[in-house]
Amino acid sequence: MADALDTLVIVQLRELMGDEFGAVVAAFLADSAARMKDVELALGHTDCERASRAAHALKGMCLNMGANTLSKALAALESAARNGDAAALPPLWQVVQNEYPKARAAAEGLVRH
Amino acid sequence: MTNAMRVLIADDNEGDRMLLSAIVRREGHQVISAVDGADALAKFDADAPQIVLLDALMPNVDGFEAAREIKSRTRDSFVPIVFLTSLTEAGELARCLDAGGDDFLSKPYNPIILRAKLAALARMRHLHTTLAAQRDEIAMYNTRLMREQDAAKRIFDRIAHQGCLSTNVINYLMSPLALFNGDVLLAARNPAGNMYIFVGDFTGHGLQASIGAMPLAEIFYGMTPKGFGMCDVVREINRKLKDILPIGYFCCATMIDVSFHKGTVEVWAGGLPDAYLYRAQTAKPTRIGSRHLPLGVVSTERFDASTDVYYLAPGDRILMCTDGVLELRNPGGEMYGTDRLEVLLSSLPPGAPAFERVKAELDQHMGSAGREDDITLVEVTMHDAADVLAPTPDIDQGNAQVAHDWSLVYELKPDSLKHSNPLPILQNVLTEVPALRARSATIFTVLSELYANALEHGVMGLSSDTKTSANGFSRYYRRRAELLDALDAGFVRFELRSRSDADGGRLEIRIIDSGAGFDAHGAAYSESTYHGRGIPLVRDLADSLVFRGNGNDVKAVLCWGKGAGDG
């Protein structure tokens, strides 16, 4: 979990949001799932433009949650998609798919206790 | 937090929106949330936020378009827009700025940076609001100032430009540098039909320079028709300006009293450039220099109201100007100057229309250069009295029928003879009678000529033969001033009697002086040389004129209608 989400970011987030911390994490879980679907669909249609935008949005919310490893993978995917580098997309998408469940599990762990 | 603002946050990611909202709220601001661009525009109109935080990539109207729209709706006020982005490409960032973005906030959100940005934007906003308010205020003041100046100018023109500038006697050119003018040009007739002309140039320009012109014009137009002498008017103007003008402010002026009956021009000149006298018969102009300090400089006690008198034949002219004429620059920056003016005046043949020639040369000199100063150029041409329009008498026929019968004795002793002019008081009394008011010009001329005669030739014993030459005039008036100053005995007594009824009336003016009369001077003096030019004029105007005693007791009678019997 320490790998998936930056502890310092989480501490600050908890402090900042107070009672709303749980709601923010829940929103992250919902938003990120929707964006993952977006990316997947776009890649399925080889819609690089849309894939890039969805990856960008997902990257932003990951940064706010301290999901730094995932956001780096998304930045690489976004960049390749924006450059229309279709060949590079599947392996990069694979990295994102590997990282996402870890970040998600870590986030879920935050609100369970 | 004292400077709480309404902050619109538009982001389609709920988590990010919540996070940002929490940070902004914690800073004490009020948050308005929008879930996409279209929602942002709707909430912008509804809630009028003061700062907008926009995610760049949103469904429906995206951040760029929303920014453009918001900027176009806030042309007059300043609503800062901050793009929420983790965009890192220069091209993308430039797009945000092109769309009207004022700043960026990148993810992950940092509360410290956000707080600093909000504070900076609040300052910018405040600055902009202050500037806009000041701009509006200046625009409003400017509009008001123009309106007030316009109104003031109308009042000013009514006060300062009435009079008789537009006669065949005066040619003039006045060019205001601003709406108002530091120059003053006034002309009015006194009750005897003399024309007083005042040319002045206040220090400075614009409103400050023109303010002094208002009381000046009031005094000039107030005193001249009442019969005050030019010296009285000049002295009073000096007193008033000395009172009201700050130190260092004054009015350079030349005032002249043109008597068409006598063919004389009396000049008081203080501080304006030389005036020029040029005759219809000879080509060379004569310089009339300034002898006094400008008006408003010295106190009344030290004020010198002495004048020079010139004899002018019909067609002779006097040209006066303010220094704006001499300082007029050509496009090369060269001033017009006295030399050019004198060369021009000297080159003109006798009787040439000098005013038009000077005016044309000034225009030519100036070329395309703008005027720097207020320019006033005035030319006064001597006319026969008959060729000058008479002042319009203020006749009130409705009361002219009222009968009256009164007499008045008014005697002036040395101190009064020295320091006061009895004519305005008498004129005032006499013109209370409607029938006399209609004849005020005649009455004033008779009174003033007989009084001058009694004082100068009677009490002071001056001989008028010196007045026959142009040079003699100034000698005569200098001697007159000396004698008056030293006067310690003598008197002039007025005895006025007026009677009238519905059919007509008569006014008797008897003036007795303490002088020796003309018999004492020997038979060599005829009545007319003794009395100068004035007496034949009175003979023409009065129905009868009789000298009694030694000639120091004179009675003039003016009749109208059927008269009112013999007195």
> Sorting pLDDT into bands at 50, 70 and 90, what band is B396?
very low
> ipTM for the complex?
0.90
Q: Do A57 and B87 touch (CB under 8 A)?
A: no
> What are B212's two structure tokens?
């002094």
What's the mean pLDDT in B29-58? Answer: 92
| Residues spanned by the domain of A64 | 7-14+28-111
Query: Looking at the domain assignment, is residue A23 inside a domain?
Result: no
Percent of chain B residues topping a pLDDT of 70: 87
Q: Is B57 on the interface with A (CB under 8 A)?
A: yes
Task: Please determine, for residue B529, whether its predicted confidence score (pLDDT) is greater than 60.
Answer: no
User: Containing H/E element for B544?
Assistant: strand B544-548
Both B454 and B377 in one domain: the answer is no
Both B182 and B291 in one domain: the answer is yes
> What are B456's two structure tokens?
């100068």
Rounded to whole angstroms, the Cα distance separating B496 from B507 reads 7
Give the pLDDT score at B206: 65
Both B293 and B376 in one domain: the answer is yes
CA distance A26 to chain B (A): 8
Q: Do B22 and A16 touch (CB under 8 A)?
A: yes
Query: Looking at the domain assignment, is residue B392 inside a domain?
Result: no
Q: Do A60 and B26 touch (CB under 8 A)?
A: no
Q: Is B547 on the interface with A (CB under 8 A)?
A: no
Cβ-contact B429, B545 below 8 angstroms: no
Both B312 and B372 in one domain: the answer is yes
Q: Do A61 and B16 touch (CB under 8 A)?
A: yes
Query: Looking at the domain assignment, is residue A20 inside a domain?
Result: no
Of B209-218, B288-297, B336-345, which range is least confident?
B209-218
Residues of A in Cβ contact (< 8 Å) with B96: none
Query: Looking at the domain assignment, is residue B142 inside a domain?
Result: no
Q: Which of B77, B112, B132 is the last residue of a domain?
A: B132
> Sorting pLDDT into bands at 50, 70 and 90, what band is B469?
low
Cβ-contact A5, A35 below 8 angstroms: no
> Sorting pLDDT into bands at 50, 70 and 90, what band is B40?
very high
Query: Looking at the domain assignment, is residue A19 inside a domain?
Result: no
Rounded to whole angstroms, the Cα distance separating A53 from A87 reads 18
Task: Please determine, for residue B401, whether its predicted confidence score (pLDDT) is greater than 80.
Answer: no
User: Containing H/E element for B301?
Assistant: none
Both B381 and B405 in one domain: the answer is no
Of A14-18, B153-157, B263-267, B301-305, which range is least confident?
B153-157
CB neighbours of B332 closer than 8 A, spacing ≥ 6? Answer: none
Q: Is B13 on the interface with A (CB under 8 A)?
A: yes
Rounded to whole angstroms, the Cα distance separating B366 from B535 reads 50
- Termini Cα distance of chain A: 14
Number of compact structural domains in chain A? 1
One-letter identity of residue B41: L
Rounded to whole angstroms, the Cα distance separating B234 from B340 reads 31
Both B561 and B480 in one domain: the answer is yes
CA distance B85 to chain A (A): 7
Q: Residue B449 burial by CB count (10 A; 0-12/13-18/19+): exposed, middle or buried? A: buried
- Token match 């009514």: residue? B158
Task: Please determine, for residue B179, whether its predicted confidence score (pLDDT) is greater than 80.
Answer: no
Task: Please determine, for residue B506, whether its predicted confidence score (pLDDT) is greater than 60.
Answer: yes
- Token match 């008028």: residue? B464
Q: Do B16 and A16 touch (CB under 8 A)?
A: no
Q: Is B85 on the interface with A (CB under 8 A)?
A: yes
> What are B233's two structure tokens?
């008017």
Give the pLDDT score at B395: 40
Both B73 and B168 in one domain: the answer is no
CB atoms within 10 A of CB B239: 16
Q: Do B19 and A17 touch (CB under 8 A)?
A: yes
List helix spans (H) across B48-110. 63-73, 90-98
For every one of its 113 residues, what pLDDT tens digit does chain A have, with 9 covering 90 and above? 447 899 999 999 999 898 889 999 999 999 999 999 999 999 999 899 999 989 999 999 999 999 999 999 999 999 999 898 888 999 999 999 999 999 999 999 988 76
Q: Is A38 on the interface with B (CB under 8 A)?
A: no
For testing contact with chain A, the best of B12, B13, B31 (most A CBs within 10 A): B13
Both B327 and B411 in one domain: the answer is no
Both B209 and B78 in one domain: the answer is no
- Rounded to the nearest 10 degrees, the angle between the axes of helix A89-112 and helix A48-65 is 30
Q: What CATH number does the domain containing B479 carry?
A: 3.30.565.10
Rounded to whole angstroms, the Cα distance separating B366 from B370 reads 7
Radius of gyration of chain B (CA): 39
CA distance B14 to chain A (A): 6
Of residues A16, A27, A61, nearest to B23 (C-beta): A16
> Sorting pLDDT into bands at 50, 70 and 90, what band is B319?
very high
Rounded to whole angstroms, the Cα distance separating B238 from B209 reads 16
CB neighbours of B244 closer than 8 A, spacing ≥ 6? Answer: B212, B215
Phi, psi of B337 (to 5 degrees): 80, 160
Give the pLDDT score at B521: 43
Give the pLDDT score at B173: 83
Task: Please determine, for residue B180, whether its predicted confidence score (pLDDT) is greater than 70.
Answer: no
Rounded to whole angstroms, the Cα distance separating B42 from B138 reads 34
List C-alpha distances in Å: B518 to A43, B457, B463, B510, B526: 133, 9, 10, 17, 9
> Sorting pLDDT into bands at 50, 70 and 90, what band is B528?
very low
Q: Is A61 on the interface with B (CB under 8 A)?
A: yes
Q: Is A104 on the interface with B (CB under 8 A)?
A: no
Q: Is B113 on the interface with A (CB under 8 A)?
A: no
Average pLDDT over chain B, rounded to an integer: 83
> Sorting pLDDT into bands at 50, 70 and 90, what band is B552?
confident
Give the pLDDT score at B522: 41
Give the pLDDT score at B525: 41
Phi, psi of B490 (to 5 degrees): 110, 170
Q: Is A110 on the interface with B (CB under 8 A)?
A: no
Residues of A in Cβ contact (< 8 Å) with B19: 13, 16-17, 24, 64
Q: Is A86 on the interface with B (CB under 8 A)?
A: no
Query: Looking at the domain assignment, is residue B155 inside a domain?
Result: no
> What are B251's two structure tokens?
């009015």
Both B321 and B178 in one domain: the answer is yes
> What are B556's two structure tokens?
């003039």
For the four alpha carbons of B61, B67, B73 and B79, in that order, the dihedral sign comes to positive
Query: Looking at the domain assignment, is residue B138 inside a domain?
Result: no
Q: Do A64 and B12 touch (CB under 8 A)?
A: no
> Sorting pLDDT into bands at 50, 70 and 90, what band is B391?
very low
Write the pLDDT tens digit of every residue in B223-251.
Answer: 988 889 999 999 999 999 999 888 888 99
Q: Do A64 and B109 touch (CB under 8 A)?
A: yes
Number of compact structural domains in chain B? 3
Rounded to whole angstroms, the Cα distance separating A64 from A31 reads 13
B442 three-class SS: helix
> What are B504's two structure tokens?
């007509």
List C-alpha distances in Å: B320 to B255, B379, B450: 10, 6, 32
Task: Please determine, for residue B530, whether its predicted confidence score (pLDDT) is greater than 70.
Answer: no
> What are B247's two structure tokens?
């130190």
Query: Looking at the domain assignment, is residue A22 inside a domain?
Result: no
Both B430 and B353 in one domain: the answer is no
Residues of B in Cβ contact (< 8 Å) with A59: 86, 107
Write the pLDDT tens digit of every residue in B363-375.
Answer: 888 887 666 567 8
Cβ-contact B277, B286 below 8 angstroms: yes
Task: Please determine, for residue B2, whether its predicted confidence score (pLDDT) is greater than 60.
Answer: no
Nearest residue of A to residue B21 by CA position?
A: A17
Give the pLDDT score at B87: 65
| Residues spanned by the domain of B555 | 397-566
Query: Looking at the domain assignment, is residue B22 inside a domain?
Result: yes
Q: Do A64 and B107 touch (CB under 8 A)?
A: yes
Q: Is B330 on the interface with A (CB under 8 A)?
A: no
Give the pLDDT score at B500: 80
> Sorting pLDDT into bands at 50, 70 and 90, what band is B394?
very low
- Termini Cα distance of chain B: 99
What's the mean pLDDT in B187-203? Answer: 89
Task: Please determine, for residue B108, whether its predicted confidence score (pLDDT) is greater than 50.
Answer: yes
Write the pLDDT tens digit of every residue in B135-147.
Answer: 888 999 888 888 8
Edge-to-edge strand order for the sheet containing B275-278? Answer: B170-175, B375-381, B317-321, B275-278, B286-288
CB atoms within 10 A of CB B426: 21
Q: Do B14 and A17 touch (CB under 8 A)?
A: no
Q: Is B19 on the interface with A (CB under 8 A)?
A: yes
Both B333 and B352 in one domain: the answer is yes
Query: Looking at the domain assignment, is residue A40 inside a domain?
Result: yes
What's the mean pLDDT in B419-446? Answer: 81
Query: Looking at the domain assignment, is residue A79 inside a domain?
Result: yes
- Per the model's pLDDT, the better-predicted residue between B154 and B297 turns out to be B297
Q: What CATH number does the domain containing B340 carry?
A: 3.60.40.10
Q: What CATH number does the domain containing A52 carry?
A: 1.20.120
CA distance B23 to chain A (A): 7
Q: Is A59 on the interface with B (CB under 8 A)?
A: yes
Rounded to whole angstroms, the Cα distance separating B46 from B106 reads 27
Three-class HEC string of B404-425 = EEEEEEEEECHHHHHHCCCHHH
Q: Is A9 on the interface with B (CB under 8 A)?
A: yes
Of residues B22, B26, B108, nearest to A63 (C-beta): B108
- Rounded to the nearest 10 degrees, the angle between the axes of helix B440-452 and helix B534-541 is 150
Of residues A9, A20, A53, nearest to B57 (C-beta): A53
Give the pLDDT score at B244: 86
Give the pLDDT score at B259: 92
- Token match 């309106």: residue? B147
Rounded to whole angstroms, the Cα distance separating B16 from B31 reads 14
In 3D space, the residue among B454, B446, B506 whose CA is nearest the CA of residue B227 turns out to be B446
Q: Do A64 and B85 touch (CB under 8 A)?
A: no
Q: Which of B132, B148, B175 is the last residue of a domain?
A: B132
Specify the pTM.
Answer: 0.55
Q: Is A50 on the interface with B (CB under 8 A)?
A: no
